């Protein structure tokens, strides 16, 4: 007696047909909602924080980072929040830029002095700071 070899093709034909399932849809990737302070909130905070002549003693104690508090202790001859040695006649806060990926917002602050002299610096606010506070100040000159 001789055995016949049917091969793989015959075996596959003998199997019942399986239903063809469409691929499962990819799970939706949730885009995280922006968290933290908005540009508008930061702008309003900086305008209130700096006021017309500089931050109040309360704001200096409660609304700046520890880094700035330490920097002020080591730079007693200059105000690190104003990048100056004295109180300006007026202060203006420019538009706020927010970088969500970096978790920070910032604005240019302009101090006005006598004889139409001005100076600028950049104030930075961490978006997740609670309460909102100035995280760093970078002087222009």
Q: What is the pLDDT of residues 48-65, one digit of tens each?
A: 999 999 999 999 999 999
**What confidence score (pLDDT) does residue 20 get?**
59
CB 93 within 8 A of CB 87: no
**What confidence score (pLDDT) does residue 114 get?**
86
**What confidence score (pLDDT) does residue 131 get?**
94
**What confidence score (pLDDT) does residue 99 get?**
96
In the predicted model, residues of the chain with pLDDT beneath 70 are 1-34, 141
Q: What is the pLDDT of residues 128-140, one digit of tens each?
A: 999 999 999 999 8
**What confidence score (pLDDT) does residue 22 get?**
61
Sorted by where each starts, the structural domains of the chain and their CATH numbers stand as: 39-139 (3.10.450)
**What confidence score (pLDDT) does residue 33 get?**
44
**What confidence score (pLDDT) does residue 49 get?**
98
**What confidence score (pLDDT) does residue 66 get?**
96
């Amino acid at each position: 007696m001789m055995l016949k070899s049917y091969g793989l093709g015959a075996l596959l034909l003998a199997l019942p047909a399986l239903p063809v399932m469409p691929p499962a849809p990819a799970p939706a990737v949730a885009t995280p909602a922006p968290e933290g302070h908005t540009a508008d909130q930061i702008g309003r905070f900086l305008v209130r924080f700096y006021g017309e002549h500089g931050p109040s003693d309360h704001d200096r104690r409660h609304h700046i980072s520890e880094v700035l508090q330490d920097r002020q202790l080591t730079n007693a001859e200059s105000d690190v929040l104003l990048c100056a040695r004295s109180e300006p006649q007026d202060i203006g806060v420019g538009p706020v830029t927010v970088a969500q990926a970096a978790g920070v917002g910032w604005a240019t602050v302009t101090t006005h002095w006598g004889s139409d002299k001005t100076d600028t610096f950049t104030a930075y606010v961490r978006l997740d700071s609670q309460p909102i506070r100035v995280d760093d100040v970078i002087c222009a000159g």
